[in-house]
Amino acid sequence: MDPLEKDTAHLAMKGEHDIESNHLARLVEIFTDFSVDRDSNLLMHKLLSLAINASICEGGTIYSVTQRNTLQFQCFINDILLASERDAGRLNLSANAEISLFDILGAPVHSHVCSYVYHEKKSVHIEDAYTARDFDCKGIKEFDQNHGYRTKSVLTVPIFAVNQDVIGVMQLINAHDLETGLTIPFAQDTQKFIGALATICGFQMDNLQLIDQLNSQIEANHYTTLEKDRILRDLHDGLGSQLTKASIGLQYGLYSATESIALIDSAIEEMNHIFENYLNFELSLDKMMALTVNQYTNVFRSQKNCVISYSLIDPQVVNTQYPKNVVINLMQVVREILTNSLKYSSAKSLEIVLSSQANLVKLSILEKDLADSSLTLPAAQSRGFGQRNILHRIESQLNGSVSFTRRLNFHLIEINIPNIVA
């Protein structure tokens, strides 16, 4: 039996001092294990388990604050709901949802208890979610209905970083009376203990985020070196193959002089593009987007009779310096999308728009006036540049999000990434 389960089984027979001592001993054990095996997910799971057992409740959730101004599932435990594989799968799907902290106008959301706790930086205890008047518990009721569950008492506490910013929320549900087995409100002493535990949890989450940031910086520096090597390989492979083709054509009479000159001109143009990207990839995001689009303007006009336009909505982006990995990844996403569109698209108009808000940088690529709606901008098929590559660069490399919209006469990609300046 797990040590946490042993603690819960004997709570009724122990004094308050012994109970707290057991919980503190378990906390020391958790951090001792973490010093050996630095698994952040396992740490969050153990801390949540301790909170559930210390408060004698059915389950709980830890949410982390994302750079998209949402609360996202970090860890979830509820043995009753996870009793069957079917329910576990359904819960995993629901765990993908996020809780918005601000509405579409940028105003703080206070109707949801978790977002309220985030903004007000204080704990909230609800004795019965179905009779609560201060908060909109519609989501809780829908969740209960979908899973055959009944949520009653709810304790929601903020998780603070070292600088007192809220970086997460811990929520526990359905405290139990050990003697009667009935669901009861969370006791005052329990609320204080969970608040203290959430503080300790916050310090650890803060430390883990700092470690992740350092690792990301190391990866970004390594990625920059790899990107330079890739550009140089493009220069060697792309330019070399075109010049070789022209040379062989001239020697063996495979091409006319005009065709050979066209091949050489194409090779020179490709060389210029590669050198521009190699020398200037550390420019501002706006300048790099303009440079990338400009490289494709003439070829789209001549080969596809398609007009490409680039516009910047927020003028503050002009002088903003973004991290190298942001500029490189967005530049490569646009280049590969344009390359794919050049090969397969029937569009006569292609618009690229860059904008920013307080917390987000937005990039949209709109393909309009389609002659053939079956040809999609981010080719999901095996040909060209696929959605998988876009998602890897934006979600894995930049911690952003991508949405794809396809209609009869237009295709749209919308990219959102955290607005982090260098």
* Domain segments of the chain as ranges: 3-211, 284-422
Question: What's the CATH code, domain 284-422?
Answer: 3.30.565.10
Categorize the per-residue pLDDT at 273 as very low, low, confident or very high, splitting at 50, 70 and 90: low
Q: Name the CATH code of domain 3-211 (choices 3.40.1350.10, 3.30.450.40, 3.40.50.1860, 3.20.80.10).
A: 3.30.450.40
Q: Provide the token pair at 131.
A: 């009779």
Segment among 296-300, 312-316, 370-374 with least mean pLDDT: 370-374
Does residue 384 surpass a pLDDT of 50?
Answer: no
- What global pTM score does this model have? 0.50
Does residue 59 surpass a pLDDT of 60?
Answer: yes
Q: What is the pLDDT, as a whole number, of residue 4?
A: 41
* Paired residues of 71 in beta bridges: 65, 99
Measured CA to CA, the distance from residue 124 to residue 171 in angstroms comes to: 9
Average pLDDT over residues 90-117: 78
Closest CA to 157 of 127, 209, 187, 120: 120
Does residue 418 surpass a pLDDT of 50?
Answer: yes
Q: What is the pLDDT, as a whole number, of residue 198?
A: 86
Each residue of 349-374: pLDDT tens digit?
899 999 887 788 899 999 887 765 44
Task: Say if CB 394 and CB 350 are below 8 A apart.
Answer: no
Identity of the highest mean pLDDT range in 200-204, 214-218, 285-289, 349-353: 349-353
Each residue of 16-40: pLDDT tens digit?
444 455 666 666 666 565 555 566 6
Does residue 6 surpass a pLDDT of 50?
Answer: no
Number of Cβ atoms within 10 Å of the Cβ of 97: 11
Identity of the highest mean pLDDT range in 69-78, 176-185, 218-227: 176-185
Give the number of C-alpha atoms closer than 13 A to the C-alpha of residue 91, restricted to the C-beta side: 21
